[in-house]
Amino acid sequence: AQSVTQLDSHVSVSEGTPVLLRCNYSSSYSPSLFWYVQHPNKGLQLLLKYTSAATLVKGINGFEAEFKKSETSFHLTKPSAHMSDAAEYFCVVSLSGNTPLVFGKGTRLSVIA
């Protein structure tokens, strides 16, 4: 079975400082991994995805994530937080095309001016 654990339910950073949102996964096979972002009262938008190509994945808005198989991790980072980054972030794992994606419970990112 596959599962996703987002290690922090809430992260607070100051504007201009680095962002780190942590995600660990459990999967018997090589998974695809995704990060989604949800701004208040909005739908979910894909930030980036890992599908067994390069282990360092670059996404939109300056975010990136590194797939580390030995650590079963897929942490999301950004060098410098903006106020507009305040949102809920979801780490997601998928095994194959016909199986449901499994969502973590989300990490709420607050950015302090």
Partner 1 sequence: NAGVTQTPKFQVLKTGQSMTLQCAQDMNHEYMSWYRQDPGMGLRLIHYSVGAGITDQGEVPNGYNVSRSTTEDFPLRLLSAAPSQTSVYFCASKGTGKGAGAGTGELFFGEGSRLTVL
Residues near partner 1 (CB under 8 A) are: 9, 32, 34, 36, 42-46, 49, 51, 90, 92, 94, 97-98, 100-101, 103-106
Cβ 92 to partner 1, closest distance in Å?
A: 8
Cβ 53 to partner 1, closest distance in Å?
A: 10
Alpha carbons 71 and 81: distance in angstroms, whole number = 25
Single-letter amino acid, residue 68: K
Cβ 35 to partner 1, closest distance in Å?
A: 10
Instruction: Identify the burial level of 108 via C-beta atoms within 10 angstroms of its C-beta, where 0-12 means exposed, 13-18 middle and 19 or more buried.
Output: middle
Pick the closer one to partner 1 by CB: 11 or 92: 92
Alpha carbons 111 and 82: distance in angstroms, whole number = 7
Cβ 49 to partner 1, closest distance in Å?
A: 5
Pick the closer one to partner 1 by CB: 70 or 99: 99
Pick the closer one to partner 1 by CB: 27 or 32: 32
Question: Does residue 23 contact residue 77 with C-beta atoms inside 8 Å?
Answer: no
Alpha carbons 29 and 59: distance in angstroms, whole number = 24
